């Protein structure tokens, strides 16, 4: 044992790592350890304070983000079908907007298409109905005209309300005209002209005696006015089709609340 101790001491003296300049390699600095531990404690305390200060709603949202991302990455079949139909509708509507501006392929016919659209506007129809009502001298004519006026007013209010709810823009950035602002027809869904011409054509087919050629022309007029709104870029195809459906429903509503001749005479006398 006494001989082995001097050998070990000599070995330690000969070891290069035991010199003073290499002591930092064998023993970690206490200052670094203390700074690292203090920084870890501070970060942990800051994280805990942030977690305490964050509201439960924010914590729930942070937990739900991965699930929402998964839902967006894996949409349902109904969502895929709806988005596909919407994309087809927008693409076809843009292709059919041949009179959306002067630079379009049919830009020269824009004035004529706008004139066709005026024939289905609400203001000229309301003004014409009032003029005919003043000049009418028969009870049957006044009854039909009063109910037609009611149908036109209902059409403007219903379409304006639906457009305010949907707030859908048209396929092109086309500003509404003055008559459109007067009837609050500023959005795309549903198409006000389409609903009006559908209601008017059905009303005339039911309450006026017309020959077959006139009945065919009336239906063609309604179709041309409706799809002229797609050609000038104001509405999508689905806006026009939904307008036709709403126009038919408005006609059915007017038939349910049809005002009798006595009621019409009372309203005319008040007016």
- Percent over 70 (pLDDT), the chain: 72
How many residues are present in the chain? 271
pLDDT tens digits, residue range 79-109? 788 788 888 888 888 888 888 887 778 878 8
C-alpha span between 78 and 206 (Å, rounded):
39
Q: pLDDT tens across 189-199, in order?
A: 999 999 999 99
The string over 230-243, giving b where at least 16 C-beta atoms fall within 10 Å of a residue's C-beta and e elsewhere, is bbbbbbbbbbbbbb
Task: List the catalytic residue out of 121, 207, 235, 236.
Answer: 235
Question: Which of these, 118, 131, 123, 122, lies nearest to 221 by C-alpha position?
Answer: 118
121 is catalytic: no
Q: Count each helix (H run) and each strand (E run) in the chain, helices first.
A: 13, 0
Average pLDDT over residues 204-217: 90
Q: How far apart are CA 16 and CA 12, in angstroms?
A: 8
Query: What is the per-residue pLDDT across 137-196, written as a single tens digit (0 to 9) for each?
Result: 889 889 999 999 999 999 999 999 999 999 888 888 777 777 788 878 888 899 999 999
Residues 39-75 have pLDDT tens digits of 555 545 544 444 455 455 455 554 544 444 444 555 6
pLDDT band for position 7 (cuts 50, 70, 90) = low
Annotated active-site residue 193? The verdict is yes
Give yes or no for residue 269 having a pLDDT over 50: yes
What confidence score (pLDDT) does residue 18 get?
A: 55
Q: What is the mean pLDDT of residues 221-225?
A: 94
From the candidates 121, 193, 207, 236, which is the catalytic residue?
193
75/71 Cα distance (integer angstroms): 6
């Amino acid at each position: 044992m006494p001989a082995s101790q001097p050998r070990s001491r000599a070995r330690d003296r000969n070891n290069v790592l035991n010199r003073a300049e290499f002591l930092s390699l064998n023993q970690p600095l206490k200052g670094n350890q203390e700074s690292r531990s203090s920084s870890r404690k501070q970060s942990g305390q800051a994280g805990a304070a942030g977690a305490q200060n964050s509201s439960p709603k924010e914590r729930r949202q942070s937990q739900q983000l991965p699930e929402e991302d998964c839902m967006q990455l894996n949409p349902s079949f109904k969502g895929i079908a709806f988005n596909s139909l919407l994309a087809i509708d927008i693409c076809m509507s843009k292709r059919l907007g041949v009179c959306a501006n002067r630079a379009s392929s049919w830009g020269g016919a824009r004035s004529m298409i706008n004139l066709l659209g005026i024939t289905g506007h609400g203001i000229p129809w309301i003004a014409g109905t009032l003029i005919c009502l003043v000049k009418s001298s028969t009870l049957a004519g006044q009854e039909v005209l009063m109910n037609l006026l009611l149908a036109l007013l209902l059409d403007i209010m219903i379409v304006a309300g639906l457009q305010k709810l949907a707030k859908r823009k048209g396929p092109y950035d086309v500003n509404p005209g003055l008559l459109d602002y007067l009837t609050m027809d500023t959005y795309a869904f549903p198409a006000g002209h389409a609903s009006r011409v559908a209601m008017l054509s059905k009303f005339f087919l039911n309450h006026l005696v017309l020959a077959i050629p006139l009945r065919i022309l009336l239906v063609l007029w309604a179709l041309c006015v409706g799809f002229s709104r797609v050609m000038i870029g104001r509405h999508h195809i689905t806006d026009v089709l939904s307008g036709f459906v709403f126009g038919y429903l408005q006609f059915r509503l007017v038939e349910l609340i049809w005002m009798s001749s006595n009621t019409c005479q009372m309203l005319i006398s008040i007016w």
